[in-house]
Amino acid sequence: MNARDLLKGVTPPVLANLRRRWMGRTLRFSGRPRDWAEACDMSAGYGTATIVERVAAATRAVIAGEAVYERDSVLFHEPAWPFPVLAALLRVAALNAGKLDVFDFGGSLGSTYRQCRPFLGSLAHLRWCVIEQPAFVTVGQAEFSSAELSFAATLADLPDPVAAPIVLASSVLQYLVDPAQTLHELSRLRASHLMIDRTPLCEQATNRLCIQHVPKHIYAASYPCWILSRSRLLDQLTTDWRLVCDFPGADGTYTTDDGLRFEFRGLIFERRS
């Protein structure tokens, strides 16, 4: 063990988090914009073409065997299995005689598909469709589509499922102008399950809009981000869905610059009969 590893082992988590923040290597959440338009004015944004190319380059590296998986264009060289997602997927497959259709809303170029694929090889049927922005869909269809993996720009473009599908919304709702409207539209799909993952939730009664600052080592960007009220989210969904599982997400807990504590969490729902 070298000195750096030893120091990491004895440094309290709170100090380690402060150090990462000081070095610009962790997410930061700030500001209280009144609406989405003001949040856009307060943030620097990012070049969509630049982000798409970074994600595409990272995806090519994964396919070439140069990394195990990618997330947000960052390459990882050790496995990190998304077991809650896998549990939800395999639950749906078990209820459908080994057949699984996934509608992956905001699924980039298939990041979660590639992470999960090693566990899904024994299924009788697998089809995974990513719903993304047109720029991602163009690249996805040109380079990364297959018999299992496809890309769609709108919900109307989704393929007809063989089995009752699961809708996956991972790390996406917080970046939409109107997350509630999107959830309403997703709930209208003929899906048996809905999984929300890697989503910031707080215990206050209302959603909080802020600015998310991306660590500099990933890419220079800041953009509007909702911290969703957990109670408000459940109030909207529980008419059509039954909560099966509520679990902590892999992204951890954060506090905004003005003191609102929140946690990235995941939720698995089953449609009410």
User: pTM score, two decimals?
Assistant: 0.89
Residue 155 lies in a domain: yes
Judge whether 52 lies within some domain. Answer: yes
Do strands 208-213 and 28-30 pair parallel, antiparallel, or not at all (unpaired)? antiparallel
- Residue 74 inside a domain? The answer is yes
What is the CA angle 93-128-106, rounded to 5?
120
- Total tally of structural domains belonging to the chain: 1
pLDDT along the chain (273 residues), means of 10: 44 41 68 97 80 94 96 92 97 98 98 97 97 97 98 97 97 97 96 98 98 82 95 96 96 96 98 92
- Report how far apart, in Å, the C-alpha atoms of 193 and of each of 22, 133, 153 are: 40, 23, 21
Q: What is the CATH number of the domain that holds 107?
A: 3.40.50.150
251: left (phi over 0), alpha (psi -120 to 50) or beta: alpha
**CA-CA distance, 123 to 131, in Å (whole number)?**
22
**Does 7 reside within a domain?**
no
Q: In the prediction, which pLDDT does 187 show?
A: 96
Q: Residue 20 falls within a domain, yes or no?
A: no
Domain assignment of residue 244, yes or no? yes
Position 25 scores a pLDDT of 60
Domain that holds residue 40: 26-271
Q: Is residue 31 part of a domain?
A: yes
Q: Is residue 1 part of a domain?
A: no
Give CA separation, 196 vs 19, 53, 67, 126, 207, in Å. Answer: 30, 26, 26, 20, 16
CA distance 155 to 25: 35
Residue 47 confidence (pLDDT) = 64
